[in-house]
Amino acid sequence: MKNIIDRIIFVSGWVSIAIIVAITFFLFYNWIPLFKTASPIEFFFGTLWYPTAIPPFYGILPLLDATVWISFLTILITFPSAFVLAIFITHVAPKRLRYFLKIFLEIFSSVPSVILGLIGLSIVAPYFQSVLNMDTGQNILNAALMLSLITIPMPTSMMEDFISAFSPEQKEGAQALGANEFETLTKVIIPGLKGPFASIAMLSLGRIFGETMIVLMVAGNAAIFPTNIFQPARVLSSTIAAEMGETPVDTPHFYALFGIGAVLFVMTFLINIIGEVIRIRYERQMMKG
Amino acid sequence: MSFKKRMLKQRIAFLSLSIVSIGILFAIGSIFALILVNGLGVLNWNFLISITSFDFKGVTHGGIGPAIAGTFMVTGLGLVFAVPVGILAGIYLSEYRSKGKIFNVLRMMVANLAGVPSVVHGLFGLAVFAVLFKFGLSILSSALTLSILALPIIIMTTENAMRDVPNDLREASYSLGAKKWQSALLVVFPVAASKIMTGVILASARIAGETAPILFTGATLYLAHYPTAINQQFMALPYMIYGLMTTSINISASTNFAYGIALVLITLIALMNIAIVIFRSKTRKNS
């Protein structure tokens, strides 16, 4: 016998799946009409994104290219930084400082990305331009630096959790054999945490991929194929944010922006699933061992 | 390698780690410092409460009252939608379907929902709440969109908080003849409530600072009055920072203004985080 309250709880429990399905449906529903004006090949492999030109071009390849550039540069900065910080917090910092550092990073992790955009635009960009003599301060490097800063707290706290929860038996075993703390860390703990670290890298990448406001504000918004990191670029997410406001509903441009949304959604979905699967597999292994 | 050499190696490694870490922490700290220093100059009572009277062409006077009100309204309304559903969903995952294949799928979907880019939520809100449901560009559409962002955070903290409650309590309530829902809602939930509260605060801090989901679901750069109804467009603090930095002609004046808004926003969010820390230390003492 199920009563009404059980039913309400049941329905709520399934709401997240319902929303994911609904998001998928509405993204594709608003994307498919584009194919009357531009074929899927033009959309995915077109090298020009000029949606308001006459005739318009709806090729997302330059946006995709810039997204990959910025995401990889960001993860290249974020991941080692988070790694160093996590070791600093777990192994080097005095116990009292540890607690405050954790709270400090936690507060920083909830700083809105638009604020990093503000810093990038008003401080880093002018510095790049006038002191470092770059052609423009609004470029890939600036965006990647601001993105890295805002992303660092997430992988740091995840790594820190894994490092401090690492099997005490193995740690003590290494120490009993005469290894010092640094040797235990590099020869036992870090090799043992390959799985979780891979999963953390994926989850951070998923986050960086979808981040919009920073790139919109500081990357310079030029839909070109960048050849170096000092050039401006425009990514998938920021294109939607920059253009949707001025796009009339139910036009090819509107459909194309939903198409970009669908691509972004599917890519982050896959990245996150891979990250989660690696994490779950590792946790199972740990339970067996 | 001799013992001395190995200890030296450790010392050098930890020292260089510390230098890099302090550099990163310094960069993060300087963001707070920059906002504090640049923002304080603009901040006064008038700035906080009066109607905005700048036109984004450089005449930056007046205040951010309507934007503060707008941010509070969408955040509050978003929570009204997200909190009950999120808590019940968390209860479902911890009490009703706490293991098995379906549980794994459901939980992975919650994690995935948390990973959906915020601009995609904005598209969804536009297609569903603004266009399909005909709520238009409004506080209501934006609040509903933000509630979807808040949902996974609330679900995950509720599930974890409920799981942390010892099983003795559930068994005791069953032995007294309680039904499943009675045990979940009346016995386990009250114990988990203060931990769940931290999730709710975390979710509000997150959605209060979001820009992309409200960009095309109802936020506007300029409004000559305080918002009065949920079917109106609204100003919001994060969107105002973006607008000032990208559409203004007098850049130095609007940058100062933007820093003032950033300081207000960060203060709000920091206060929420401090509330979380306090809640957490309380639950630690109780258990």
Residue A201, pLDDT above cutoff 80: yes
**B40 Ramachandran zone, left/alpha/beta (phi>0; psi -120 to 50):** alpha
A-B CB pairs within 8 A amount to 244
With CB atoms and an 8 Å threshold, state whether B14 touches A217: no
Q: Which chain A residue shows the shortest CA-CA distance from B129?
A: A26
For residues B98 and B102, give the distance between their C-alpha atoms in angstroms, rounded to a whole number.
9
Residue A254, pLDDT above cutoff 70: yes
Structural domain contains residue A15:
no
Residue B59, pLDDT above cutoff 80: no
For residues B23 and A80, give the distance between their C-alpha atoms in angstroms, rounded to a whole number.
13
CATH of the domain at A164: 1.10.3720.10
Residue A273, pLDDT above cutoff 70: yes
Structural domain contains residue A73:
yes
Q: Chain A residues with CB inside 8 Å of B120's CB?
A: 23, 27, 210, 261, 264-265, 268
> Domain residues for A174?
31-288
Residues 77-136 of B with CB under 8 A from A: 84-86, 88-89, 91-93, 96-97, 104-106, 108-113, 115-124, 126-128, 131
pLDDT at B129: 96
pLDDT at A172: 87
Domains and CATH numbers, chain B: 65-286 (1.10.3720.10)
Q: What torsion, rounded to 10 degrees, do the Cα atoms A204, A206, A210, A213 define? A: 0
Token couple for A92: 């080097």
CB proximity list for B162: less than 8 A, separation 6 or greater = B90, B91, B94, B95, B184, B188, B189, B192
Q: What torsion, rounded to 10 degrees, do the Cα atoms A39, A44, A47, A52 define? A: 60
**B61 Ramachandran zone, left/alpha/beta (phi>0; psi -120 to 50):** beta
Structural domain contains residue A153:
yes
Strand ranges for A185-234 from DSSP E: none
Structural domain contains residue A24:
no
A274 touches chain B (CB under 8 A): no
Structural domain contains residue A155:
yes
Task: Supply the ipTM of this predicted assembly.
Answer: 0.92
- Band of pLDDT at residue B54, cut at 50, 70 and 90: low
Is the Cβ–Cβ distance between A70 and A151 less than 8 Å? no
pLDDT at A49: 92
Q: Which chain A residue shows the shortest CA-CA distance from B153?
A: A16
- In tens, the pLDDT along A46-82 reads 999 999 888 899 999 999 999 999 999 999 999 999 9
Token couple for A165: 């929860």
HEC string for B155-168 = HHHHHHHHHCCCHH
**Pick from A202, A231, A232: nearest CA to A216:** A232
- Band of pLDDT at residue A180, cut at 50, 70 and 90: confident
- Band of pLDDT at residue A276, cut at 50, 70 and 90: confident
**Pick from A238, A232, A184, A180: nearest CA to A214:** A238
Q: Chain A residues with CB inside 8 Å of B136's CB?
A: none
Sign of CA dihedral B28, B29, B32, B34: negative
For residues B285 and A156, give the distance between their C-alpha atoms in angstroms, rounded to a whole number.
27
With CB atoms and an 8 Å threshold, state whether A111 touches B209: yes
With CB atoms and an 8 Å threshold, state whether A108 touches B28: yes
Residue A33, pLDDT above cutoff 60: yes
- In tens, the pLDDT along A110-163 reads 899 999 999 999 999 999 988 887 788 899 999 999 999 999 999 999 999 999
Is the Cβ–Cβ distance between A180 and A196 less than 8 Å? no
What are the beta bridge partners of residue B234? B219
Residue A221, pLDDT above cutoff 90: no
**Pick from B241, B110, B187: nearest CA to A116:** B241
For residues A87 and A182, give the distance between their C-alpha atoms in angstroms, rounded to a whole number.
10
Residue B37, pLDDT above cutoff 70: yes
Q: Chain A residues with CB inside 8 Å of B220's CB?
A: none
pLDDT at B30: 95
Number of domains making up chain A: 1
Structural domain contains residue A227:
yes
Structural domain contains residue A8:
no
For residues A46 and B41, give the distance between their C-alpha atoms in angstroms, rounded to a whole number.
49
Q: In the predicted model, what is the mean pLDDT of chain A? A: 91
- In tens, the pLDDT along A14-26 reads 999 999 999 999 9
- In tens, the pLDDT along B231-260 reads 999 999 999 999 988 887 777 778 888 999
- In tens, the pLDDT along B213-222 reads 999 999 988 8
CB proximity list for A126: less than 8 A, separation 6 or greater = A137
**Pick from B235, B113, B124: nearest CA to A244:** B124
Residues 150-209 of B with CB under 8 A from A: 151-152, 155, 179-181, 184-185, 202, 205-206, 208-209
Structural domain contains residue A145:
yes
- In tens, the pLDDT along B78-134 reads 999 999 999 999 999 999 988 889 998 999 999 999 999 999 999 999 999 999 999
Peptide bond into A55 cis (omega under 30): yes
Token couple for B279: 């809640």
